[in-house]
Amino acid sequence: MPISFASRLDQVETSAIRELFKLLGKPGIISFAGGFPDSAMFDVQGIREASEQALRQEPGAALQYGATEGYQPLREQLAQFMAQKGAPGVAPEQLIVTTGSQQALDLVGKTLIGQGDKVIVEGPTFLATIQCFRLYGADLVSAPIDGEGVQTDRLEQLIAEHRPRLVYLIPTFGNPSGATLSLERRKRVLELAVRYQTVIVEDDPYGELYFGDAPPPSLLALSAQVPGSRELLVHCGSLSKVLSPGLRVGWMIAPPELLAKATMCKQFSDAHTSTFAQATAAHYLKAGRMPATLAHVRGVYAKRAQAMGDALRERLGEAIAFVQPRGGLFIWAHLTGAGGKIADGNAFAQRAIQHGVAFVPGAPFFCAEPDRTTLRLSFATVDEHKIREGVARLALALAE
């Protein structure tokens, strides 16, 4: 091919998962593979009304170019949303609206990561972050997690050893792990940030999707208790998993100098997030619809998570081990190999597809030393009946 690409692309591989997704078009496949919310749960009427209000009340602003930092009424609504989420005292000026939280992560990479810089991420972590940070030259280091999120003793050793540019964490209902960092560990993470003067990036698209009790407060909320930590903390939020990913509304809260640099970089990238989407989101939040929407999606996902957990325990028994999730969209499981059953996630995924059910093997979610026994199953987009059917197919694939 006559085109020679930038050398930075050599640092990123196309994802193994994408190959698997090509097979998902097969008719009749039950897919636990996606990372999406269920489109059947979108509050179409609420979003329609919000978009109509935006066009009726401020058509000029909603359809014109806007400020790179974001549409001011939305920044105000998002600051209030953060207060409702337990992080009061975020001024609208302390956040910028981003095109999904994915763009916030890209801006973190652009502003903070240079060639060869060490960056600590959880093992496993969000695949797109691995890819994005690598594009900026990050040398990723994997910090192990358990049922309570990242192991903070190990994290401290890794920080002391590598002196990373930043530590990237998904503390609440992680993707793919579903794990939630305990309150004690959250405080420890903030203390580590201060002791080692390390930036912590808290990615939190799932925190509102809890099924029973609310999870511990975000690192952002807790930073008020750990002097000096707020100056080292970046918080990324998103409406994608709770309202609609198609709106592409996310946000980033960061110390002023970092926010200014991120805003400059965003300007070169997309000038601003769609003003129409921002005005729609602002009206939606202002109309006070979010609490009911959250209650609805939490209820539906909770039932699906339970159905999947019960079916897996019943049908796959000791061949699979997992912690029943208390929120989010995913069950993260290990194949135990019990009874001589298959223990490789990738091989099992291939076999499962033949039986008409798909999931994502866990190995690609590790930046190093992948645990090949792992898999990620999403319960979000499939109703309970189909979940049971899909798990029955998994059991058949396992028995083969």
- Footprint of ligand PLP on this chain (CB under 6 A)? 35, 100-102, 126, 170, 175, 203, 205, 238, 240, 245, 250
In whole angstroms, the minimum distance from the beta carbon of 96 to ligand PLP comes to 14
Considering beta carbons, is residue 192 or 243 the nearer one to ligand PLP? Answer: 243
Q: What number of residues does the chain have?
A: 400
Residue showing the smallest CB distance to ligand PLP in the complex = 100
Q: How is residue 363 written in tokens? A: 């190995």
In whole angstroms, the minimum distance from the beta carbon of 344 to ligand PLP comes to 24
d(CA 71, CA 397): 50
If 0-12 CB within 10 Å is exposed, 13-18 middle and 19+ buried, where does residue 56 land? exposed
* Inter-axis angle of helices 152-162 and 183-196, nearest 10: 10
Considering beta carbons, is residue 69 or 203 the nearer one to ligand PLP? Answer: 203
d(CA 100, CA 350): 31
In whole angstroms, the minimum distance from the beta carbon of 226 to ligand PLP comes to 23
In whole angstroms, the minimum distance from the beta carbon of 247 to ligand PLP comes to 9
User: What ranges in the chain are assigned the alpha helix state H?
Assistant: 16-22, 44-57, 59-63, 72-84, 100-112, 127-135, 152-162, 183-196, 219-222, 256-270, 275-286, 290-316, 345-354, 384-399
d(CA 8, CA 10): 5
Burial 94-109 (b: 16+ CB within 10 A, else e): bbbbbbbbbbbbbbbb
In whole angstroms, the minimum distance from the beta carbon of 238 to ligand PLP comes to 3
Considering beta carbons, is residue 245 or 390 the nearer one to ligand PLP? Answer: 245
In whole angstroms, the minimum distance from the beta carbon of 351 to ligand PLP comes to 26
Considering beta carbons, is residue 164 or 205 the nearer one to ligand PLP? Answer: 205
d(CA 192, CA 18): 36
Considering beta carbons, is residue 379 or 393 the nearer one to ligand PLP? Answer: 379
In whole angstroms, the minimum distance from the beta carbon of 280 to ligand PLP comes to 16
Considering beta carbons, is residue 245 or 325 the nearer one to ligand PLP? Answer: 245
Considering beta carbons, is residue 126 or 276 the nearer one to ligand PLP? Answer: 126
Which among 108, 133, 118, 115 is positioned nearest to 163, based on CA atoms? 118
List the Cα angle 252/204/152 in 5-degree steps: 110
